[in-house]
């Protein structure tokens, strides 16, 4: 998966001859080589990076929604406890 320390990339230019465009000469394609030796094109790297980033953001968003639900529940619980203690204090004549 992209983003790991062992998958850090190094950019390099790889000259590839294009058989279909012999008149144009050599076409230059930019490739990426990861630290583990995997070679991929820039578009493949961007596609994988985008997929990885979206998955991580989705996971983070789900965790954040869970925390928001917990916070809302705790706020409601504190509100009930506060109103219950006020009622209790009034009944005892402290307020």
- Using DSSP, state whether 35 is helix, strand or coil: coil
What is the H or E stretch that residue 39 is in? strand 39-41
pLDDT in tens, 27-73: 678 888 888 888 999 999 999 999 999 999 999 999 999 999 999 99
Contact by Cβ (8 Å): 52, 2: yes
- Among residues 19, 23, 39, the alpha carbon closest in space to that of 31 is found at 39
Type and span of the H or E element at 26: strand 26-34
pTM of the model: 0.55
Name 5's Cβ contacts closer than 8 Å, sequence gap at least 6.
Answer: 35
Per-residue model confidence as pLDDT tens digits over 6-36: 455 555 554 443 344 444 444 678 888 888 8
pLDDT value for 34 = 83
Whole-number average pLDDT of the chain? 77
Paired with 31 in beta bridges are 12, 41
């Amino acid at each position: 998966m992209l983003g790991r320390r062992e998958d850090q990339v190094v950019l390099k230019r790889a000259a590839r001859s294009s058989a279909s465009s012999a008149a144009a000469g050599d076409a230059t394609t930019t490739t990426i080589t990861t630290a583990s030796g995997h070679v991929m094109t820039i578009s493949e790297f961007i596609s994988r990076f985008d997929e990885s980033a979206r998955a991580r953001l989705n996971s983070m968003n789900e965790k954040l929604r869970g925390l928001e639900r917990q916070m809302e529940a705790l706020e409601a619980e504190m509100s009930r406890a506060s109103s219950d203690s006020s009622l209790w204090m009034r009944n005892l004549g402290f307020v």
